[in-house]
């Protein structure tokens, strides 16, 4: 689901002006503990994409506060891995501009165990177009959704004793995502009546991709690990999966497809792997380069998979830099997509079976993300 950089992809960056990650030479990364996180744009995207993790060696009863932020603009439409360039040429592409802010609190029960809570907030703007009777775009309008998203609570545990495993360790996480975000935000849409040639205002629920909440509970599973390689290098890998047992949330989509009338609650996933380098030795500056993959599952691990969703994934090269001091850290990551794939959903498959004609919907993806985080140890 990705393309090369163009002048169009630079303009959103100019317009710009998930919880924190501890130093990976000392810690494992527990990725994204909000309920839905993941692929970009029309594939449901929630949370900052960064997460709070304890620092190996933290003393018992320590507290960490973090603020994480993610921004992107998705306007690149894909069906499978095929980029729909004709949407850009016609000027009728959907454009999502999304901001996610996560407030995180981590409590270290002991050097081996911790618990974290994430309180996420979102702000979305989605613009769509109207076409006249000749099929030419003549108007673009916007719908928005803002507010509290789905709060999550996660417990983390080191597999090996941090006191004897300072050069490498594995951390496991288990948590719960709560349906605190509003699942059925409504806004005013514009509708063109071809018979009268008039534009009418219609109030409906906004698109699934900009709804603050999923409307269901999620079970969060995560695993991460690191290994010091020497000469200032540390390798890391991490994965996160959110299981959503509830099939649909009862919210109407106002879509015309027979199998897409109600919003689905989809499983989501995120994975990262790469290497960090301690620049300047003990300067506290870390440079990183890795691969990032995030997506929405076609089929849920538990429960049904009916209802409308846009399953798919993106793969990105993720450069980053972080500054770590005694009580605080700051990080910047800018993943740039190298592959995007909008997969065939269950409703797509149902329509294919019913009609005998292959069906597959599209989804809009971003070229890149901007992710910032700041954390402070109390």
Confidence of residue 112 (pLDDT cuts 50, 70, 90): very high
φ, ψ dihedrals at 27, nearest 5°? -140, 165
Domains defined for the chain, CATH in brackets: 7-377 (2.40.128.130)
Closest CA to 274 of 262, 286, 261: 286
Other beta carbons less than 10 A from residue 277's beta carbon:
16
User: What mean pLDDT is predicted for residues 282-303?
Assistant: 96
User: What mean pLDDT is predicted for residues 350-374?
Assistant: 97
The whole model's pTM is what? 0.86
| Encoded tokens for 156 | 């983390």
Closest CA to 50 of 75, 73, 22, 74: 22
Model pLDDT, residue 168? 97
Question: Which tens digit of pLDDT belongs to each residue from 179-210?
Answer: 999 999 999 999 999 989 999 999 999 999 99
Confidence of residue 282 (pLDDT cuts 50, 70, 90): confident
Residue 335 has pLDDT above 60, yes or no: yes
- Evaluate whether 143 touches 187 at the Cβ level (below 8 Å): yes
Q: Pick the residue with more confidence: 60 or 323? A: 323
How far is residue 49's CA from residue 338's CA, in Å, rounded to a whole number? Answer: 18
Model pLDDT, residue 42? 54
**Per-residue 3-state assignment (H helix, E strand, C coil) for 249-290:** EEEECCCCCCCCCEEECCCEEEEEEEEEEEECCCCCEEEEEE
Model pLDDT, residue 370? 98
Residue 45 has pLDDT above 70, yes or no: no
């Amino acid at each position: 689901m990705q393309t090369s950089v163009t002048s169009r992809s630079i303009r959103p960056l100019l317009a710009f002006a998930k919880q924190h990650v501890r130093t990976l030479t000392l810690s494992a990364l527990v990725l994204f503990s909000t309920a839905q996180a993941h692929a970009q744009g029309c594939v449901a995207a929630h949370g900052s994409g960064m997460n709070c993790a304890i620092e190996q060696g933290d003393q018992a009863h320590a507290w960490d506060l973090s603020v994480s932020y993610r921004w992107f603009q998705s306007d690149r439409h894909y069906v499978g891995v095929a980029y729909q360039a004709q949407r850009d040429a016609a000027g009728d592409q959907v454009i999502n501009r999304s901001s996610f802010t996560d407030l995180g609190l981590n409590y270290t029960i002991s050097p081996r165990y911790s618990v974290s809570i994430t309180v996420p907030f979102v702000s979305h703007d989605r613009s769509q177009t109207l076409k006249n009777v000749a099929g030419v775009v003549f108007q673009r309008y916007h719908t928005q959704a803002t507010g509290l998203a789905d709060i999550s609570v996660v417990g983390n545990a080191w597999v090996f004793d941090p006191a004897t495993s300072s050069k490498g360790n594995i951390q496991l996480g288990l948590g719960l995502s709560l349906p605190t975000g509003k699942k059925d935000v409504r806004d005013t849409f514009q509708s063109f009546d071809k018979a009268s040639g008039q534009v009418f205002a219609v109030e409906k629920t906004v698109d699934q991709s900009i709804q603050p909440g999923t409307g269901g509970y999620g079970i969060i599973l995560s695993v991460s690990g690191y290994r010091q390689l020497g000469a200032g290098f540390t390798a890391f890998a991490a994965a996160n999966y959110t299981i959503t047992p509830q099939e649909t949330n009862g919210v109407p989509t106002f879509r015309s497809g027979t199998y897409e009338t109600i919003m689905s609650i989809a499983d989501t996933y995120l994975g990262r792997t790469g290497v960090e380098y301690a620049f300047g030795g003990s300067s506290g500056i870390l440079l990183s380069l890795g691969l990032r993959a995030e997506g929405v599952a076609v089929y849920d691990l538990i429960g049904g998979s009916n209802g409308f969703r846009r399953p798919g994934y993106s793969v990105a090269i993720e450069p980053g830099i972080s500054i770590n001091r005694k009580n605080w850290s700051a990080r910047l990551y800018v993943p740039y997509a190298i592959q995007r794939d909008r997969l065939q959903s269950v409703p797509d498959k149902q329509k294919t079976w019913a009609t005998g004609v292959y069906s597959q919907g599209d989804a809009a993806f971003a070229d890149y993300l901007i992710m910032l985080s700041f954390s402070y140890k109390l």
